Amino acid sequence: MSDFLIKKAEKEHNLTGDELAEILGNDEINRNLLDAANRIREKYVGNDVHLRGLVEFSNLCSKNCVYCGLRKDNKNLKRYKLKPETIIDFAQKAVSYGYKTLVLQSGEGDFYTTEDMIHIVREIKKLDAAITLSIGEKTEEEYKLFRQAGADRFLLRIETTDKQLYKKLHPDMNHENRINCLKTIRKLGYELGTGSLIGLPGQTVESLAGDILFFKEIGADMIGIGPFIPNRDTPLKDEKGGSFEMSLKVMALTRLLLPDINIPATTAMESLNPQGRLIALQSGANVVMPNVTEGEYRALYKLYPGKICINDTPAHCRGCITGKIHGINRTVSKDYGFRKKIFQSKS
């Protein structure tokens, strides 16, 4: 039955929640699923891999997501906040290595003024690079100002569409507000990125199926899927964590249902499997986000243990990932890597 469903998804790019859950619950057809996603990736987004340089510019956070090492109550972490000029400098260096997109990511909160963020975005835009922001929940006014300053994309994972689970994991957040943020981001003309954590305690294949349907419904342009990796400095330290395999399956199904979007091979996948990003690139992904943060900050941006590249330099990572991409007969894109829409979202 699942084999038939994969063929259907490859042809029609549509499955019901029950059908998705059936595939997710069946281990035997993994190979067929990953191969189908690879074919659809090649057909709709080609062989180019888009590289986005990731600047982890502050690990300060005012929230308490129970899975994350940056959570406010984690006192076991040396905190940092890069100066605006340092962030711009890291971006400049990344552009000199050939990056056409910078992703600016941090914990959530008002640690930078709106004016500071606008200044950073404006200066980086002058470098002829696209900008993705990943700085959490903001007001509509702030999202608007960052967009006007030149930010092109915004990444805000829904994490899980299971409302009860969301509530348990995010004591100081609200699921409805998160969805409203995503709608606002889309309305303002950003490319919208969202995604989920895989293997959260209590998460079911049915709820993962719901996540994939949500990605379609919200009209996402990019979807980041990664395993939840337990961090010993968080309340979820004794949990099992997500598997590489299940993360790949959710990612592959996302590609089958949303053929033309951008899908990163996430860092967390490589943290669980030394070939994780390459396997992901051959199972539906077409984006990699190498770290372009310099120095000790890489290690201090500690969401979970086993994070890759913490002792490497941006120059080394750039060469490393390019070699790996060429090694699987793929090419590194030379453009900004915006989604080329073939399918319109319903909403």
Give contact residues for ligand SAM (rule: CB under 6 A). 67-68, 70, 105, 107-108, 134, 136, 156-157, 159, 197, 226, 228-229, 231, 268, 303-304
- For residues 80 and 107, is the Cβ–Cβ distance under 8 A? no
Count CB atoms within 10 A of the CB of residue 140: 14
Does the footprint of ligand SF4 cover residue 68 (CB under 6 A)?
A: yes
Half-sphere exposure (Cβ direction) of 220: Cα atoms closer than 13 Å: 30
Please identify which residue in the block is written with the tokens 């943060």.
293
Residue from 224, 290, 300, 333 in contact with ligand FES (CB under 6 A)? 290
Q: Which does 105 bind (CB under 5 to 8 A by kind): ligand SAM, ligand SF4, ligand FES, none?
A: ligand SAM
Does the footprint of ligand FES cover residue 268 (CB under 6 A)?
A: no
Q: Find, among 239, 214, 231, the residue nearest to 306 by Cα.
A: 231
Residue ranges of the alpha helices (H) in 49-162? 84-96, 114-125, 140-149
* Rounded Cα–Cα distance for residues 154 and 105 (Å): 10
Kindly state the smallest distance separating residue 202's Cβ from ligand SF4, in Å.
Answer: 18
Q: Of 60-68, 111-119, 138-146, 256-264, which part binds ligand SF4 (CB under 6 A)?
A: 60-68
Does the footprint of ligand FES cover residue 309 (CB under 6 A)?
A: yes
Count CB atoms within 10 A of the CB of residue 114: 15
Q: Of 27-35, 59-67, 253-261, 288-296, which part binds ligand SF4 (CB under 6 A)?
A: 59-67
Please identify which residue in the block is written with the tokens 């996302």.
254
Report CA-CA distances (Å) from 215 to 121, 194, 242, 301: 27, 7, 20, 27
- Residue nearer to ligand SAM on the CB measure, 10 or 152: 152
Residue from 48, 142, 260, 312 in contact with ligand FES (CB under 6 A)? 312
Restricting to residues 84-143, which ones interact with ligand SF4 according to CB under 6 A?
A: 107-108, 136
* Rounded Cα–Cα distance for residues 193 and 247 (Å): 17
Question: Which residues contribute to the site for ligand SF4 (CB under 6 A)?
Answer: 61, 63, 65, 68, 70-71, 107-108, 136
Question: Which residues contribute to the site for ligand FES (CB under 6 A)?
Answer: 290, 309, 312, 316-317, 320-321
